[in-house]
């Protein structure tokens, strides 16, 4: 393919594009229909690409990835390819399979060496796949800048993690009716060398993509248990909630690592709550069941974070013996202003009651929201109205004042 690009570059100059196509869910086609069917699918797909009017070269780069050289540029490339391919279905041995694939498109210039063109198209394809099935992205120079920024941010994050420059803040979780403190959620913070606070939404995603999250997550767990050990010892019911990313949960020794962290502080599992997102709990349900069971046997509770934003299978929720559903902040935000927000919160609360799970509302900001949640019989909550996330020293102070106001 690189040689073909080179020849094109010599002959044509600027008027062509390199397109990478990656078939969506190819492994599922392979697993469901078998290797023979999957091979036929690939052969037919390749033939389809070869016969597109604008195709000037086709190559198969890996199992389900193809490269096309097309004699056109501009936004038209995506449009033409879509119109010629997207509505097609492949009929193999009488089985009709719709075509779904992602595309990364790079426009070619005389000054670009073929490996660079391939790099651009690969980057665009990666972006497209991240957005989901059937997506297409055309490479732009801004992508390189943002890639460089991300690489440099990741390297600073690694250094700052090693040099203990990250820290945790804690947000109280309370019983809504009595105001009694249940525990805290640990949230990680990062101030980079220039003194700028980077949002966890940004650096957690970066850490997840690079695998650094396994180390970062373990640091958070260890630090949170260390910071809160005295609070746990003073109050048998006090629980520290720690967010756990999918990759951490998937580590084969995850349960042992958690056990070791608790052991280091001499704490029992009843003081720890692990928050996982809906996607983790559902995608590897069978594997998760054993891990959840082992954690529960240690007294650890499991909460589903941001509940309502993903896709949960109710039967799995029951099989996994989840302890708590955390209603996502976006629904609490709309609780008193839109009927859909109200209905979703109400539905999650009913679901929790039926499945015998606790329900905790996240992001309570107003008295109106608090009162509505109490009316709906929501047990627990957290949010700026109750307290903002704070450093451990401030938390100790907050707890003293709060305890004076509400008997524990």
Q: What's the distance, CA 403 to chain centroid?
A: 36
Residue whose CB is less far from ligand C2E, 114 or 172: 172
Q: What's the distance, CA 54 to chain centroid?
A: 38
Contact call for residues 106 and 122 (beta carbons, < 8 A): no
Residue whose CB is less far from ligand C2E, 9 or 186: 186
Closest approach, Cβ 266 to ligand C2E, in A, equals 22
Length of the chain: 408
Which of the listed partners (ligand C2E, Mg ion, none) does 384 bind, with a CB threshold of 5 to 8 Å by partner kind?
ligand C2E
Question: Which parts of 347-376 interact with ligand C2E (CB under 6 A)?
Answer: 362-365
**How far are the Cα atoms of 108, 188, 213, 320, 395 from residue 169, in angstroms, in the given order?**
49, 6, 18, 29, 9
Closest approach, Cβ 227 to ligand C2E, in A, equals 13
Q: Is 383 in the site for ligand C2E (CB under 6 A)?
A: yes
Each residue 282-321 as x (binds ligand C2E by CB under 6 A) or -, in order, gives: -----------------------xx---------------
Name the strand (E) or helix (H) holding 381: strand 380-381
Residue whose CB is less far from ligand C2E, 54 or 169: 169
Closest approach, Cβ 306 to ligand C2E, in A, equals 5
Contact call for residues 127 and 139 (beta carbons, < 8 A): no
Question: Which parts of 299-338 interact with Mg ion (CB under 5 A)?
Answer: 305-306
Reduce the DSSP state of residue 1 to 3 states and report it.
coil
User: Applying CB under 6 A, which of residues 57, 104, 308, 389 lies at the interface with ligand C2E?
Assistant: 389
User: Applying CB under 6 A, which of residues 131, 268, 384, 408 lies at the interface with ligand C2E?
Assistant: 384
Residue whose CB is less far from Mg ion, 305 or 372: 305
Which of 75, 74, 56 is CA-nearest to residue 5?
A: 56
Q: What residues contact 115, with CB distance under 8 A and at least 6 apart?
A: 2
- Round to whole Å and give the CA distance between 386 and 380: 11
Which of 44, 56, 48 is CA-nearest to residue 85?
A: 48
Q: What's the distance, CA 292 to chain centroid?
A: 20
Q: Is 44 in the site for ligand C2E (CB under 6 A)?
A: no
Q: For ligand C2E, which stretch binds (CB under 6 A), given 80-88, 115-123, 290-298, 378-386?
A: 378-386
Surface-to-core class of residue 310, CB atoms within 10 Å of its CB (0-12 exposed, 13-18 middle, 19+ buried): middle
Which of the listed partners (Mg ion, ligand C2E, none) does 308 bind, with a CB threshold of 5 to 8 Å by partner kind?
none
Residue whose CB is less far from Mg ion, 57 or 217: 217
Question: Which parts of 184-223 interact with ligand C2E (CB under 6 A)?
Answer: 187-188, 199-201, 204, 217, 220
Q: Is 337 in the site for ligand C2E (CB under 6 A)?
A: no
Which of the listed partners (ligand C2E, Mg ion, none) does 22 bind, with a CB threshold of 5 to 8 Å by partner kind?
none
Closest approach, Cβ 350 to Mg ion, in A, equals 20
Q: For ligand C2E, which stretch binds (CB under 6 A), given 41-49, 227-235, 291-299, 382-390?
A: 382-390
Surface-to-core class of residue 314, CB atoms within 10 Å of its CB (0-12 exposed, 13-18 middle, 19+ buried): exposed
- Round to whole Å and give the CA distance between 259 and 267: 10
Which of the listed partners (ligand C2E, Mg ion, none) does 49 bind, with a CB threshold of 5 to 8 Å by partner kind?
none
Question: Which parts of 216-275 interact with Mg ion (CB under 5 A)?
Answer: 243, 275
Binders of ligand C2E: how many residues, by CB under 6 A? Answer: 23
Question: Which parts of 132-191 interact with ligand C2E (CB under 6 A)?
Answer: 171, 187-188
Cα maximum dimension of the chain: 82
- Round to whole Å and give the CA distance between 343 and 232: 36
| CB-CB neighbours of 65 under 10 Å | 18
| CB-CB neighbours of 125 under 10 Å | 26
Binding site for Mg ion (CB under 5 A): 243, 275, 305-306, 362
Binding site for ligand C2E (CB under 6 A): 171, 187-188, 199-201, 204, 217, 220, 243, 245, 275, 305-306, 329, 362-365, 382-384, 389
């Amino acid at each position: 393919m690189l040689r073909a690009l080179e020849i094109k570059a010599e002959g044509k100059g600027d008027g062509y594009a390199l397109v990478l196509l990656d078939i969506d869910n190819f492994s599922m086609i392979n697993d469901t229909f078998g290797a023979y069917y999957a091979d036929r699918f690939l052969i037919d797909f390749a033939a389809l690409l070869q016969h597109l009017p604008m195709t000037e070269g086709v190559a198969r780069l890996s199992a389900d990835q193809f490269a096309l050289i097309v004699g056109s540029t501009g936004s038209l490339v995506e449009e033409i390819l879509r119109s010629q391919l997207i509505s097609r279905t492949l009929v193999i041995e009488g089985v009709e399979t719709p075509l779904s694939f992602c595309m990364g498109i790079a426009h070619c210039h005389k000054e670009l060496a073929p490996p660079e063109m391939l790099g651009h198209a690969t980057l665009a394809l990666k972006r497209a796949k991240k957005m989901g099935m059937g997506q297409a992205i055309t490479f732009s120079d801004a992508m390189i800048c943002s890639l460089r920024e991300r690489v440099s941010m990741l390297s600073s994050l690694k250094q700052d993690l090693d040099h203990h420059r990250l820290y945790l803040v804690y947000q109280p979780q309370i019983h809504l009716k009595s105001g009694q403190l249940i525990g805290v959620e640990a949230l990680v913070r990062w101030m980079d060398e220039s003194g700028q606070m980077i949002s966890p939404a940004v650096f957690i995603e970066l850490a997840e993509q690079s695998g650094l999250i396994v180390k970062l997550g373990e640091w958070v767990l260890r630090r949170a248990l260390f910071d809160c050990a005295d609070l746990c010892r003073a109050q048998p019911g006090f629980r520290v909630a720690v967010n756990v990313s999918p990759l951490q949960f998937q580590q084969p020794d995850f349960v042992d690592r958690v056990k070791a962290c608790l052991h280091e502080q001499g704490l029992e599992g009843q003081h720890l709550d692990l928050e996982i997102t809906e996607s983790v709990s559902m995608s590897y349900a069978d594997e998760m069941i054993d891990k959840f069971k082992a954690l529960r046997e240690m007294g650890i509770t499991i909460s589903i974070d941001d509940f309502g934003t993903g896709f949960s299978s109710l039967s799995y929720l029951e099989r996994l013996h989840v302890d708590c559903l955390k209603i996502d902040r976006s629904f609490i935000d709309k609780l008193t202003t839109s009927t859909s927000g109200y209905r979703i919160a109400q539905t999650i609360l009913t679901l929790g009651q039926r499945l015998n799970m606790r329900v905790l509302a996240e992001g309570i900001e107003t008295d109106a929201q608090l009162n509505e949640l109490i009316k709906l019989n929501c047990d627990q909550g957290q949010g700026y109205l109750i307290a903002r996330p704070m450093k451990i020293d401030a938390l100790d102070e907050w707890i003293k004042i709060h305890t004076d106001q509400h008997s524990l």
